[in-house]
Amino acid sequence: RPSSLWTMFVHRCLNNSFGTSKHVRKRRITHHNIPKTFDHTLFASRKYIEDGRKMAKDIREDVAKGVAIMKNSFGIKPAFAVVMAGKRPDTLSYVKQKQKAADEIGIGFHLEAFEDDVTEEELIRTVDQLSADPSIHGIIIQLPLPPQISEMKIQSLVPAEKDIDGFNPLNMGMLAMRRREPKFIPCTPLACLHILDHNQIDITGKRVFVLGRSNVVGLPLSLLLMKRNATVTICHRFTENEESIIKEADVVIVAVGIAGLLRKEWIKEGAVVIDVGITQIEDSSKKSGVRLVGDVHPDVSSKASLVTPVPGGVGPLTVAMLLKNVLRSAQLSSGMTPS
């Protein structure tokens, strides 16, 4: 096999995700060797997070109680807005998930949808209007935006106090500083921390390996882990000997979007593995012709002490954390102590 994970990344990108070289073909992941669910009976002595949906449900129930209190006691309905441009199917799906989750617990949802040819000035006006609207407690800029739009510029316009995604430079900067706390933390990193906390995994002094350094997951997550006194290593395309580094890690968090990238031979016995990635692969047994898989190959289950599934792991928790951030914003704007 290629000696570097990032070499494999390049092979797969250049050769239609899984490549055509003999090395990559041997690792091709299809519905024949990815089970529909992890067969936990094969590894009865192992511990798993079997249902991120259950953890997310518990969070949503707590948020729903807070929403009801704000409505009934103060006449305030927590609400957020999503600004999106274009009609990409995956983007529309993400937005619908957020709307459905908000509707279920009584949080207001407002959508500002534009065509692909929207101008930057139009988006700026929209974000400014939402920022000035006291009934809107959170603003999300749904990525990606069309190429004529500066994502950095538009995201920077979202006020820190309404930045429920946690991407405003002020919030990110506060996250990077010791003894400082941002108003909001990105939702997926929060979901990863919740998984660790829920399973009583203390990372103080532990070696944690984060594969991926995006502004959405890898970078903010690494900062959060360091604030928890973990020894954090980030892997990116220029990292050398990453396999040997991974084998030393007590916790491995993968967020690159390459199906089945992490294999069992790359982790040490008993490691905790959190799979953030999600990718569609062909599966003729499915009515849709595709299925969702993560960055972690199922064979990792035989060696890890804990592994999150895809789907049903980090994803549902990320949406739950978003709703929690909306409630937090509404409480802060009303002078209340966040619950």
pTM: 0.84
pLDDT at 291: 86
Question: Catalytic: 47?
Answer: no
Encoded tokens for 137: 């407690």
Q: What is the mean pLDDT of each run of 10 residues along the chain (339 residues)?
A: 50 43 36 41 46 92 97 96 91 91 97 96 98 98 94 94 95 93 96 95 97 95 97 91 90 94 94 93 86 92 93 94 98 89
Contact 220, 186 (CB under 8 A): yes
Which of the following is catalytic: 163, 165, 275, 283?
165
Return the structure tokens found at 85.
């441009």
- Catalytic annotation, pick one of 98, 183, 303, 324: 98
Spatial contact of 319 and 56, defined as CB atoms under 8 Å apart: yes
* Catalytic hit among 142, 163, 283, 324: 142
pLDDT at 8: 53
> Which sign does the torsion angle of CA 190, 194, 197, 201 carry?
negative
Q: CA-CA distance, 89 to 302, in Å (whole number)?
A: 35
pLDDT given for residue 49 in this prediction: 60
**310: Cα within 13 Å, side-chain hemisphere:** 26
**Does the annotation mark 54 as catalytic?**
no
Does residue 192 contact residue 274 with C-beta atoms inside 8 Å? yes
pLDDT at position 50 is 57
Q: How is residue 266 annotated by DSSP?
A: G
Match 């706390």 to its residue by tokens: 181
Distance CA 301, CA 279 (A): 19
165 is an active site residue: yes
Predicted local confidence at residue 37, as pLDDT: 43
Cα–Cα distances in angstroms (integers) from residue 213 to residues 6, 77, 255, in the given order: 13, 36, 8
What pLDDT does 203 receive? 97
- What is residue 35's predicted lDDT score, i.e. its pLDDT? 44
